[in-house]
Amino acid sequence: MSAAAKARRHRRRLWGSLGYHGFGVLASLFFLAPFVWAGLASLRHGTESQSPPLPPWPTNGISFDAYAMLDTFGAGVWRHTFNSLLVSGGTVFLTVIVSLLAGYGFSRYRFPLKNALFVLIIATLMIPFQSILTPLFIILAKLGLNNSLLGLTLVYVTLQLPFSVFMMRNAFDAVPREIEEAARIDGARDFRLLVRVLLPLVMPGVATVAIFAFLNAWNEFLAALILLSDNDKYTLPVLMTAVRAGRLGAINWGAVQAGVMVMTIPCLLIFLALQRYYMRGLMAGAVK
Amino acid sequence: MTIAAVAPVAGATRRRSKAHQWKGLLYIAPAMVLVLVFFVLPVLFTVWMSFHNWPLMGQPKWIGLRNYSRMLSDTRFLSAIGFTAFYTVIVTVAIFALAFPLALFVERERRGVGVYRSIFFLPVVVGLATASLLWTWLANVDSGLFSPALRALGLTEHSINLLATFEGAFTTIVVMVVWKIVGFTMILLLTGLQAIPSDLTEAARIDGAGRWQRFRHLTLPLMRRTLALALILSITGSVLAFDQFYIMTSGGPQNSMISVVYYIFNQSFVSFHLGYGAALSIVLLIALVALSVAQLWLLRVEDER
């Protein structure tokens, strides 16, 4: 190959890669800009909060006025963050336990109506929970769980079950039966077998189930809006409707930016840290 | 187990294993209880309620099918259906128009492609309510970004209140939803693209098929399964839209953006027509089940081919 041809080829590759990354960077800006803009704007001084974010970064020094302002809504931002964490953490905990047990049962045991019951759980995916909120409200009231974070948590756990039970059954199906038989001979039975021997082997599945449970519970809005009526009980998204509504016709945009950040940052951190498990869940859902 | 008493032990084992198999029911019991109490029961209850005039306080009254016949002349409900259908079509087309190029972009194994995939996907993991709130601020006429930025750049003379007109608000919401959802559709399409054997595309290229021809006659047909799934997910998600309209425009301007779920919410939890709201919910439920059945049917037809 002549030197000129080599140089031409090199140049073409350079242009190709420039075009590729040029597009990539532009598209990345589109997806990142709203977060960055809100994050920077939330650090501006309280007096700047109503002016347009041009430029978005604080010009009078960094301040946490926006977050202090957010704290004046409802029962304070700590309380509502705690509510959200309680509901999301509870949803993760219960979803993992319930789907772990159910996945094990569906994978390792044979009993009457097994397939019908499995299909029943999966089939709930077809029905939008938006259409059963009124009866849920009434049933929770009958159980004494209306306007309670526990009631909301149980609803969220139920909504997570089709995906989670499906994931966990597949996880158990992938564990060779020989391992169980060996453990059984060593005297491990039932519950101990499940916790001591099998749990470590299905941990990736548990991680996937936990991430989806957390994100869905943390982000859910409509059910929380309907099922929680007490100001103190609001989760973060419901609190934000009060911020959005404003006071005396004026919206405090600093508080909006701060609220968006408080709700966004945990999601982004969890996704970035556990991306592998998140994508696995997505693929499992897509292939199904 | 000893060899001495083979016959009786075999019987005992079978009995024990039968009892043992019943234990499976214990393991799935918690899941079944939750699904029955918080899903199956509410669905049946919705059906029951839909035949009643069900006020918040006082006795429900059986009125047969009158909730359903009332729907047919409820112009606000019919316009909610019309609006939801319009929104679904526009959003789905917009998402696919953007997701496909992005999927083709992130399919190439080049340096940095993993970073691009993650960045494009980021808005997906944030809540729709959060994203709506963020964009409400960005679209605000005085304190937001778009209108002041356009003015600062000298592109518009006056400030434009995006959320005050139907066109402006609708466009803003569609752009917001595309920003939030397109990464998800992109990843779905990516899995479909990656499932296409590379020797097939290679063979087509050697046979002289151009880029567009390969896409049209090879990539698209082989991806039909993924496309069906992505399409159904996009449609069901849009039909159930609520958060963005409630948070960004409160259904306005002039109630022009009331989606079906929003209308049910208003009937049930603002006007407290619980029976009528239940009947509307049943219609929504049937529509969504029909969509799921259509999806299963589409995928099954694919399997037979």
Q: How confident is the model at residue A208 (pLDDT cuts 50, 70, 90)?
A: very high
Nearest CA to B17 out of A188, A182, A110, A105 is that of: A110
Residue A51 to residue B104: CA distance in whole angstroms:
40
Please tell me the least confidently modeled range out of B19-23, B49-53, B160-164: B19-23
- Spell out the domain ranges in chain B: 6-42, 75-304
Nearest CA to B105 out of A20, A30, A31 is that of: A20
Q: How close does chain B come to A245, measured CA to CA in Å?
A: 9
pLDDT tens track for B259-279: 999 999 999 999 999 999 999
- Residue B233 CA to its chain's centroid (Å): 5
Residue B267 to residue A226: CA distance in whole angstroms:
13
pLDDT tens track for A232-278: 999 999 999 989 888 877 889 999 999 999 999 999 999 999 998 99
Q: What is the DSSP string of chain B?
A: --STTHHHHHHHHHHHHHHHHHHHHHHHHHHHHHHIIIIIHHHHHHHHHTTEE--SSS--EE-TTHHHHHHHT-HHHHHHHHHHHHHHHHHHHHHHHHHHHHHHHHHS--TTHHHHHHHHHGGGGS-HHHHHHHHHHHT-TTTSSHHHHHHHTTS-SS---GGGSHHHHHHHHHHHHHHHHHHHHHHHHHHHHHTS-HHHHHHHHHTT--HHHHIIIIIHHHTHHHHHHHHHHHHHHHHT--HHHHHHTTT-STTTT--HHHHHHIIIIIS--HHHHHHHHHHHHHHHHHHHHHHHHHHHHHHH-
What CA dihedral angle connects A98, A100, A104 and A110, to 10 degrees?
20
Residue A31 to residue B132: CA distance in whole angstroms:
14
Is the per-residue pLDDT at A222 higher than 90? yes
Which of B126, B138, B178 best tests the A interface by mutation, with the highest count of A CBs <10 A?
B126
Q: What is the DSSP string of A44-69?
A: S-GGGTTS--SS-S-SS----HHHHH
Please tell me the least confidently modeled range out of A13-17, A171-175, B245-249: A13-17
Determine the pLDDT at residue B9.
42
Angle subtended at Cα B300 by Cα B299 and Cα B304, rounded to the nearest 5 degrees: 120
Task: Please state, for a pLDDT cut of 90, what percent of chain B lies above it.
Answer: 58
User: What three-state secondary structure class fits A247?
Assistant: strand
pLDDT tens track for A82-116: 999 999 999 999 999 999 999 999 998 888 889 99
Is the per-residue pLDDT at A225 higher than 60? yes
Determine the pLDDT at residue B6.
39
Task: Pick B137's closest partner by Cβ from A20, A102, A253.
Answer: A253
Residues 179-198 (B) with a CB less than 8 A from some CB of A: 179, 183-184, 187-188, 191
Q: How confident is the model at residue B8 (pLDDT cuts 50, 70, 90)?
A: very low
Determine the pLDDT at residue A287.
57
Domain at A70-287, CATH class: mainly alpha
Q: How confident is the model at residue B286 (pLDDT cuts 50, 70, 90)?
A: very high
Is the per-residue pLDDT at A76 higher than 80? yes
Q: What is the pTM of this model?
A: 0.90
Interface predicted TM-score of the whole assembly (ipTM), two decimals = 0.91
CB contact under 8 A, B188 and A264: no
Please tell me the least confidently modeled range out of A53-62, A63-72, A95-104, A258-267: A53-62
CATH topology for B75-304 is MetI-like fold (1.10.3720)
pLDDT tens track for B210-250: 888 888 888 888 888 888 889 988 999 999 999 999 999 99
Mean pLDDT of B75-87: 96
- Spell out the domain ranges in chain A: 3-67, 70-287
Tell me the pLDDT of chain B averaged across its residues: 87
Determine the pLDDT at residue A13.
84
Q: How confident is the model at residue B147 (pLDDT cuts 50, 70, 90)?
A: confident
Residues 122-161 (A) with a CB less than 8 A from some CB of B: 124-128, 130-136, 138-139, 154-155, 157-158, 161
Residue B191 to residue B225: CA distance in whole angstroms:
11
Mean pLDDT of B14-21: 59
Residues whose CB is less than 8 angstroms from the CB of residue B78 and which lie 6 or more positions away in sequence, other chains included:
none
Residue A233 to residue A9: CA distance in whole angstroms:
65
Residue A250 to residue A243: CA distance in whole angstroms:
10
Tell me the pLDDT of chain A averaged across its residues: 90
